[in-house]
Structure 1
Amino acid sequence: MTMSLDTKAKLACLYAGGVWGLFWIPLRALEDAGLHGLWVTAVYFLVPTICLLPVTVWRWHYVRKGGAQLQLTAMLSGGALLLYSTSIVFTDVVRAMLLFYLTPVWATILARVLLGDAITLSRLVAMAMAVAGMLTIFGLGVRFPVPQNAGDWMGVGSGMLWAVAMVRIRKDNSHSATDLTIGFFLWSFVFSAAVALVLAPQQMPNVAQTMPALPLLLVFMAFLVLPGTYASLWGPKYLSPGVVGLLFMTEIVVGAISVAILADEPFGVRELSGVILIAGASLLEPLQALYRPRVRRV
């Protein structure tokens, strides 16, 4: 059976979210190697930028043709990634993820105002499930997820920037996901390196300091981060930004489980309940889309 473009785009976003749920692992490896928090992100983004140099040369004509609009979208998405990755360093991994994933709220509002997308009942139900899941993981009735430090606010800001970028990708879907991926990492590196040079110039790492984490970083880039980034910039071209935000929430599911296993953070009934709610929110609309054609055939 041939999948529709819509289904492929949804699967791409689900996959991308899962990949980003493991995004914290090489970041923490660089931090454990002794790198300053601001330089962690600069080194992290330098690796894919270098890896993509041959592709950049090959696609240069199309990158130039994309002009300022392509670069603005890449800058917004790259800035969102910078804020998000830095928030992981300066706050708890799960807190960073949850605050970032207010994205469906911002994206749904922006898509309604700028693209005229309808806010359906199923979308509202999915967002309610997602928020309930996030509150459950945080500790409903114990800790309300209000940003409490700089890392938390970076998580909120990254979600807002990502929502704007998704609206732009949807509004002008003529840009190649390959060219967006190139710009995504390039601007992430430029922004992170600039911040690190201004705020922590004396903490610049040397090659020897980064070597212990380099093998893990290269494996993650080759097999997860680069294809996951491409999927995260290709899928949104064909979907409502609000749907994209919900689909990407598979990151919380993968992230919460991987943090519990690898970082020995708590994962009990409360966390499992939150994960189930968030997974349900992410899968609600895709499952509805699969069910509708069957109903019509009957």
Structure 2
Amino acid sequence: MNTRHDAFPVMVLLFASIFWGLSWLPLKILHQSGFDGSLIVFFAYALLSLAFIPFLLQQKKYLVSHLRPWLLIALLGGGANLAFNTALIYGEVIRVMVLFYLLPLWGVLGGKFILKEHVDAKGWLAAGLAIFGAFLIVGGMTIFENPPGWVDGVALLSGFLFAMNNLAFRAHQDIPMVPKLSALFIGTMILSGVLALVTDAPLPNLIHQSDWALLVFYGLVWLLIANYGSQWGVTHMPASRSSVIIIMELVVAVISAVLLTNESLDITESIGGFLILCAALLEALRSQSHIAAAPH
């Protein structure tokens, strides 16, 4: 066994997960510099889409013959990316990331009722922990006095769409990486563009060149490393191992938000976050789990 060869995918996926965990930082900076949230997402993914179109055209025969699953991934993955980025831009990083990681719940329910998979006791335990953890995160019993805000809903939606997109990946595992990534990028670009038009998002004004440079760097470098690295990594190692490594994204996001901002969780929210983390680990370690990681 080549240990060095086996370690390389782990390092790639770990590196990509760190980029995902820190993705809130350029998003916050760009928003504070004057970019509307939907336009940040639109510009960043438009750059990625343009970069991938030449490669997609090389596989146009495949695209034509697999148009329906491609469009499904574009819709689900694009919606997940848009919701995830929007929640990070406007919400508290730790709260958004923890709510996003209700993936065990959506994964178990989707696998059971959509893919008709068998769910064992660990799966149902993971789902239960995720539900109770989310209940604590959004306020516990005080939820009846102070309903969660819209950002909480968008964060939950992002996790749900991400899990549904993973199910689409599992149902169409023959989709190569280039069409898969291009579907995610183009879908995100179109949906964020529609949102910007519907909400009449103000065009950026008096933006410094350094901020435009950061946006280009975020779109063409940061997101490309995160997306391609995560996709390449999970295709070169067992799903159970990759699922555990991807949880590093949540750890990095929480630690960085605590160190770089004034964010924190109270005791109830902390317990909820711990339960969701346990649920994610349980789901990742399920022997029959075959959850592929999709880009955000």
Q: Distance in 2 between matches of 1:193 and 1:56?
A: 21
The aligned counterpart of 1:161 is 161
Q: How far is the alpha carbon of 1:280 from its aligned partner?
A: 5.2
* Counterpart check, 1:42 vs 2:42: yes
Q: Distance in 2 between matches of 1:147 and 1:226?
A: 37
* Counterpart check, 1:205 vs 2:194: no
* Counterpart check, 1:251 vs 2:249: yes
The aligned counterpart of 1:292 is none
The aligned counterpart of 2:290 is none
Q: Distance in 2 between matches of 1:70 and 1:8?
A: 29
Q: 1:262 aligns with which of 254, 260, 263?
A: 260
Q: 1:167 to 1:76 in 2, by over 3 A?
A: same
Q: Partner letter of residue 212 of structure 2?
A: L
- Stretch deviating more after TM superposition (172-181 or 13-22): 13-22
**1:231-250 map, 5 Å:** 231-233=229-231, 235=234, 248-250=246-248
SS of equivalent to 1:34: coil
SS of equivalent to 1:52: helix
**1:1-298 map, 5 Å:** 1=1, 17-127=17-127, 148-201=148-201, 203-205=202-204, 209=207, 211-221=209-219, 223-233=221-231, 235=234, 248-266=246-264, 281-284=279-282
Q: 1:74 to 1:105 in 2, by over 3 A?
A: same
- Residues 133 and 272, structure 2, Cα contact 8 Å, conserved in 1: yes
Q: How far is the alpha carbon of 1:174 from its aligned partner?
A: 0.9
Q: How far is the alpha carbon of 1:158 from its aligned partner?
A: 1.7
Q: 1:281 to 1:194 in 2, by over 3 A?
A: same
Total equivalences in the alignment: 283
Q: Distance in 2 between matches of 1:122 and 1:210?
A: 51
1:82-101 Cα offsets, whole Å, 9 max, x none, are 11211222322222222222
Q: Distance in 2 between matches of 1:89 and 1:123?
A: 32
1:78-119 Cα offsets, whole Å, 9 max, x none, are 111111211222322222222222222012111012223222
- Percent identity reads 26
SS of equivalent to 1:38: helix
- Residues 10 and 286, structure 1, Cα contact 8 Å, conserved in 2: no
Q: Partner letter of residue 21 of structure 2?
A: G
CA RMSD, Structure 1 to Structure 2 (Å): 4.0
Long gaps (5+) in structure 1: 290-298
Q: Partner letter of residue 26 of structure 1?
A: P
Q: How far is the alpha carbon of 1:191 from its aligned partner?
A: 0.9
- Stretch deviating more after TM superposition (40-49 or 106-115): 40-49
Q: 1:189 to 1:33 in 2, by over 3 A?
A: same
Q: 1:34 to 1:285 in 2, by over 3 A?
A: closer
1:150-206 Cα offsets, whole Å, 9 max, x none, are 2221112222222221111101111112211111111101111111122125x1125
Q: TM-score, normalised by structure 2?
A: 0.75
Q: Partner letter of residue 150 of structure 1?
A: W
Going by fraction, where is helix more abundant, 1 or 2? 1
